[in-house]
Amino acid sequence: MDAFISYTLIGIFTGAAYAIAASGLVLTYSTTRVFNIAHGAVGMVFAFVYWDFSQRQGMPEWLALIVVLILVAPAAGVFMQRVLVRDLGNAPVGVSLVVTVGILVGLIGLATQVWKPAGRSAPPFFGQHLIKLGDNVVITWHQVITVILSGVVAGLLYLLLAKTRVGTAMRASVDNPDLLKLYGGRPQLVASLAWAVGTSLAALAGILLTPVIGLQYYDLTLLVISAYSAAMLGKLTSLPMTYVGAMGLGILQSYAIGYLPSAGDIAGLRAVIPTLFLFAILILLPQAPLRIGQVKGLVSAPVPSLKKAASWAGGLLVFVALLTKGLSESDLLLVGTALTYAIVMLSLVLLTGFGGFVSLAQFTFAGVGAVAYSKLDQPDLLGVLLASLIAAAVGALVAIPVLRLTGLYLALATLAFAQLMDKLVFGASFAYKEGAPLTAKRMSVLGIEFNSTGSYVFLMALCFVVVALLVIAVRRGRVGRVLIAMRDSQAAVGTLGLDLRWVRVGLFAASAGIAGVAGALFAGLRGTTVAMDFIFFQSLVLLLMAVVWGVTSVTGALLGGAFLMYLPVAQSDHPSIAGLLFVLLGVGAVILGREPNGLANKLFQSSRWVIDKVTPQVAKRLPAGAHKEGVRDVAATR
């Protein structure tokens, strides 16, 4: 019985920490309709700030707590709302996701830049004084404080939202900010207030968790995924249900460790309980109806004709062929990696750029392709094709249960799926058993071997070109028009009588299949792959790069792939600014998140500007007839 009580108390402590984190999420979402995926990263940064004040600078802990929670964190929250996420509530969900993922990456970069890796201790409140509740039941004051604070936070938030004029204004600003303005309210002010409080709650969660977790950049950041699950039970709006979800999740996790087998295949289940919880809630809870009454067409990047695309493809192949002659083996490996990422990004172009569905699991599909290719041990075109089909089948399997989901819920479902794959599948005995690498041979085509790295990289470029031309062909055809219509307004397309369910399943399958090709080619390039190559966090950075460089064009995919490859290389080459590079990427995503055509489109526009504006000006300034004279001269010399 003592054990049961202990597990319950430990679970309540865990749940209380989740509840504080989740309540901040709910507050910002319910007042501004922005789901802050960076909520955990915010908590992480302010845990470092608190440590800096209290431990490094010697400020009394109570004073440091007040300074962080009352001054610094709220100020940062206002800054984020006013500058970074302003008006995101009405933007497509992909935009707010990208911007907040950008903030997440930027904050991790900021923390690593300011507080270099080192051992740091953050003592719990009241030290390690224990409270004995029986022979075998012990809790700490820190745990008690956490539980009490979670209750206080829940109560105060409820009072704020339900019983005060400010709270009423907060809720009104979500429903109709213009109407609120007419009644004399100030929507931007209440949104700022909500972000100030939400950020302060993230900071409180981070500070309370630090003595348990330690000051870690990633652990604190990603912990909030458990809080997503709790918040989702309350459909991101109900604080009481969020509290229930957090407590239920904490206790469930504690019981799982206590009573589920600790060894064998089922042992992995314990690690994925929050993810399963999230997945189940997303699938089982009733969904919000489709947004109707609006058709939002994006100004897409120009779609090239197949002839024009083929000429560019030829140019790319010539360029890569030259690279294979001039670059060293180690540099060619980097080119191959860039091409892998570019092909994965092509899968996002199809899914997100054309279809409008945000996926946070593209690297997972690539991982499926890599595992399948390695396990099939069929190093030829058939092997790659089979690996692609297996990845496509997995993509379809994901799409079917989440058919009803759209927008944010769909993105979170793909994130949950990626985590499940990381924990349950990639580590299983049939994949990367016990973290061991899988080996793979480089594929041959019709008996032609591509054993040298140069020839294999050229083959990868050829694959990129083929997939890119297929993607462009799809975009130019009937299916492409359906996808664009679906992206702009599912409700409108549904009204026209199109059944989008199977289009959607097919789209997910095709996208996963493309990622699977990339995974198979990647396995051949490397010779060995490990599960870490495909962890879900990679998919977040992939999405950022795709958006920064343009998720609606093949050019964006190619440039994004190159820069995704280069990011860790640059961080390695310039360790003193490694964090800063993450910050720059985050800032880039925040700036360009609202423009899904990205930098690639800017390139197109600038080249058009050169042709339309600059060239005529230059021609005018040239001596009259010079051009024709020049032509005649050339003809004469022949």
Partner 1 sequence: MITVTACGSALEPNEVLAANDAVRGVGGTTTTTPGAVVTDPGSPLTPGATGGPKAGGGKKGGGATGAGTGSSAGGGSTGGGSTGGGATTGSGVKAASCNGFQNGPGITDSTIRLGNASDISGPLPGVFEGAQQAVKAYVAYFNATNPSGICGRKLALDMYDTRTDNGGNQAAAAKMCETDFADIGSMSIFDSGLAATAQQCGLPTLHSAAVTATFNSCSTCFGVNASGDGEFPNEVYDFWVRNNKDATQHAAFLYLNQGAAAENARVQQAVGAKRGIKWEYIAAIDVAEFNYGPYIQQLKDKGIKMVQFIGGWAHSVRFLQAQQAANYKPAVNLFDPSVYEPGFLSQGGAVTEGVFMFMQTAAIEDRLPEMLLYRQWLGQVAPGATPAFFGILAWSAAKLFVEKSLALGGNLSRANLVKAFKTADGWTGGGLHGPMSVGSKHSPSCIRYATVKDGRWVPYGGAKYRCGGYSKGS
- Cα 31-32-34 angle, rounded to 5 deg: 125
- Minimum CB separation from partner 1 for residue 110, in Å? 14
Of 422 and 551, CB closest to partner 1: 422
Of 23 and 140, CB closest to partner 1: 140
Binding mask 329-348 for partner 1 (x = CB under 8 A): xx--xx--x-----------
Q: Tell me if 475 contacts partner 1 by CB under 8 A.
A: no
The torsion of the CA quartet 281, 285, 287, 288, rounded to 10 degrees, works out to: -100
Q: Residues 404, 409, 414, 420: is their CA dihedral positive or negative?
A: negative
Of 120 and 594, CB closest to partner 1: 120
Among residues 30, 54, 143, 173, which is the contact residue for partner 1, using CB under 8 A? 143
Of 91 and 343, CB closest to partner 1: 343
Of 173 and 533, CB closest to partner 1: 533
Of 59 and 428, CB closest to partner 1: 428
Among residues 67, 189, 213, 492, which is the contact residue for partner 1, using CB under 8 A? 213
Binding mask 557-596 for partner 1 (x = CB under 8 A): -----------xx-xx--x--x------------------
CA gap 170, 557 in Å, rounded = 40
Q: Tell me if 221 contacts partner 1 by CB under 8 A.
A: no
* Burial of 376 per CB tally in 10 Å (0-12, 13-18, 19+): middle
Contact 274, 226 (CB under 8 A): yes
- Candidates 31-39, 69-77, 92-100, 265-273; binding stretch for partner 1 (CB under 8 A): 265-273
Binding mask 9-38 for partner 1 (x = CB under 8 A): -xx-xx------------------------
Q: Look at the block and give the residue holding tokens 């497509």.
A: 92
Q: Tell me if 263 contacts partner 1 by CB under 8 A.
A: yes
Of 449 and 595, CB closest to partner 1: 449
Of 301 and 523, CB closest to partner 1: 523
Of 252 and 603, CB closest to partner 1: 252
Q: Tell me if 128 contacts partner 1 by CB under 8 A.
A: yes
Q: Look at the block and give the residue holding tokens 């690279």.
A: 323
Among residues 167, 427, 513, 524, which is the contact residue for partner 1, using CB under 8 A? 427
Among residues 164, 176, 262, 605, which is the contact residue for partner 1, using CB under 8 A? 262
H helices within 434-535, ranges in order? 453-476, 478-488, 490-495, 500-526
Tokens of 66: 């007040």
Among residues 23, 36, 100, 140, which is the contact residue for partner 1, using CB under 8 A? 140
Within 8 A by CB and 6+ apart from 433, the residues are: 427
Quick one: which of 615, 583, 632, 613 has its CA closest to 109? 583
Three-class SS state of 140: strand
Of 118 and 446, CB closest to partner 1: 118
Q: Tell me if 429 contacts partner 1 by CB under 8 A.
A: no
Contact 524, 451 (CB under 8 A): no
CA gap 362, 539 in Å, rounded = 6
Q: Tell me if 615 contacts partner 1 by CB under 8 A.
A: no
Q: Tell me if 423 contacts partner 1 by CB under 8 A.
A: yes
Contact 130, 617 (CB under 8 A): no
Of 528 and 605, CB closest to partner 1: 528
- Minimum CB separation from partner 1 for residue 597, in Å? 30
- Candidates 267-275, 393-401, 410-418, 608-616; binding stretch for partner 1 (CB under 8 A): 267-275
Among residues 67, 87, 214, 602, which is the contact residue for partner 1, using CB under 8 A? 214
Count of alpha carbons within 13 angstroms of residue 234, beta-carbon side: 27
CA distances to 3, 10, 139, 268 from 257, rounded to whole Å, are: 12, 11, 18, 11
Interactions with partner 1, residue window 493-532 (CB under 8 A): 526-530, 532
Q: Tell me if 181 contacts partner 1 by CB under 8 A.
A: no
Among residues 59, 61, 144, 258, which is the contact residue for partner 1, using CB under 8 A? 258
Residue 529 pairs in a beta bridge with 438
CA gap 444, 379 in Å, rounded = 6
Interactions with partner 1, residue window 531-560 (CB under 8 A): 532-533
Among residues 86, 186, 270, 594, which is the contact residue for partner 1, using CB under 8 A? 270
Contact 19, 149 (CB under 8 A): no
CA gap 207, 149 in Å, rounded = 12
CA gap 77, 196 in Å, rounded = 4
Interactions with partner 1, residue window 108-127 (CB under 8 A): 112, 116-121, 124
Of 29 and 522, CB closest to partner 1: 522
- Candidates 89-97, 210-218, 542-550, 625-633; binding stretch for partner 1 (CB under 8 A): 210-218
- Minimum CB separation from partner 1 for residue 126, in Å? 12
CA gap 599, 592 in Å, rounded = 8
Q: Tell me if 166 contacts partner 1 by CB under 8 A.
A: no
Contact 190, 89 (CB under 8 A): no
Among residues 436, 466, 614, 619, which is the contact residue for partner 1, using CB under 8 A? 436
Of 211 and 598, CB closest to partner 1: 211
Using DSSP bridges, classify how beta strands 138-140 and 130-132 pair: parallel, antiparallel or unpaired: antiparallel
Contact 475, 564 (CB under 8 A): no
Tokens of 320: 């890569």
Of 257 and 469, CB closest to partner 1: 257
* Burial of 620 per CB tally in 10 Å (0-12, 13-18, 19+): exposed
Task: Tell me the number of residues near partner 1 by CB under 8 A.
Answer: 71
